[in-house]
Amino acid sequence: KNQVEQSPQSLIILEGKNCTLQCNYTVSPFSNLRWYKQDTGRGPVSLTIMTFSENTKSNGRYTATLDADTKQSSLHITASQLSDSASYICVVSEATGNQFYFGTGTSLTVIP
Amino acid sequence: DAGITQSPRHKVTETGTPVTLRCHQTENHRYMYWYRQDPGHGLRLIHYSYGVKDTDKGEVSDGYSVSRSKTEDFLLTLESATSSQTSVYFCAIRGSLGSEQYFGPGTRLTVT
């Protein structure tokens, strides 16, 4: 069964600290993996997209990694800011059709 | 935001009443989606459309119907709303590259 699991479910960190969010998936055949940021009361917004051949991709203070062999991805946030407080959702696309598989998200709270 | 709007943004309705949510896009995308988002479940696909008058069911389609008479509009109808349909509903389109989705701002629906 195609699934996407994220950990931790929630995380609280101090402003300025780094953190890493995890995503494990069983989706096959794999097409790509995306990380979305969802602010409270708003729709998800794409942060990064990674294909099978990509290991690392950065978007400012956000760095995503992908290990296609172990089917794991991580999102590393550097020097966190209060505005990073949001839910982060991992989404994996299946190569054969119109299927997107969503994780349940990690809720990140950055405190001063 | 890929030119996606949803209406209404908030709605409170009574059990048993019909409700229609509207998703409007301005960029002529072929694929459109309706999701619901509930705590602990992440985003779940209700229905999607791959063209005018072409729609298909998602994993949680029971109690919902959709229509797409124009490229720019995708309507979600709850024929007889139930309390279990209280949720936040997101519309999304698939980008022109086919590898990512863009989400609307969401509609918060409360069924009392």
The sign of the torsion formed by the CA atoms of B55, B75, B17, A44 equals positive
Q: Residue B2 has what pLDDT?
A: 65
Higher pLDDT, A102 or B98: A102
Of the partner residues B4, B43, B48, the one whose CB lies closest to the CB of residue A98: B48
Minimum CA–CA partner of A31 in chain B: B99
Minimum CA–CA partner of A4 in chain B: B42
Q: Residue A4 has what pLDDT?
A: 96
Question: Count of A–B CB contacts within 8 Å?
Answer: 44
Higher pLDDT, B11 or A28: B11
Neighbours of A32 (CB within 10 A): 20
B3-32 confidence digits (pLDDT tens) = 899 999 999 999 999 999 999 999 889 999
Of the partner residues A49, A98, A102, the one whose CB lies closest to the CB of residue B42: A102
Minimum CA–CA partner of A88 in chain B: B42
> Which residues in chain B have their CB less than 8 angstroms from residue A103's CB?
42
Q: Is the pLDDT at B1 greater than 60, yes or no?
A: no
**Nearest by Cα to A30 from A63, A64, A70, A59:** A70
A62-81 confidence digits (pLDDT tens) = 999 999 999 999 999 999 99
Helices (H), chain B: none
Minimum CA–CA partner of B49 in chain A: A98
- Please indicate whether, in this complex, the C-beta atoms of B106 and A32 are within 8 angstroms of each other: no
> Which residues in chain A have their CB less than 8 angstroms from residue B90's CB?
43-44
Q: Is the pLDDT at A99 greater than 90, yes or no?
A: no
Query: With an 8 Å Cβ cutoff, is A31 touching chain B?
Result: yes
Mean pLDDT score, B33-47: 93
Instruction: Name the least confident of A13-22, A91-100, B16-25.
Output: A91-100
Neighbours of B43 (CB within 10 A): 27
- Please indicate whether, in this complex, the C-beta atoms of B43 and A34 are within 8 angstroms of each other: no
What totals of helices (H) and strands (E) does chain B contain, helices first? 0, 11
Q: Measured between CA atoms, how close is A93 to chain B, in angstroms?
A: 8
Q: For tokens 């389609």, name the residue.
A: B61
Of the partner residues A31, A41, A102, the one whose CB lies closest to the CB of residue B99: A31
Query: With an 8 Å Cβ cutoff, is A40 touching chain B?
Result: no
Query: With an 8 Å Cβ cutoff, is B40 touching chain A?
Result: yes
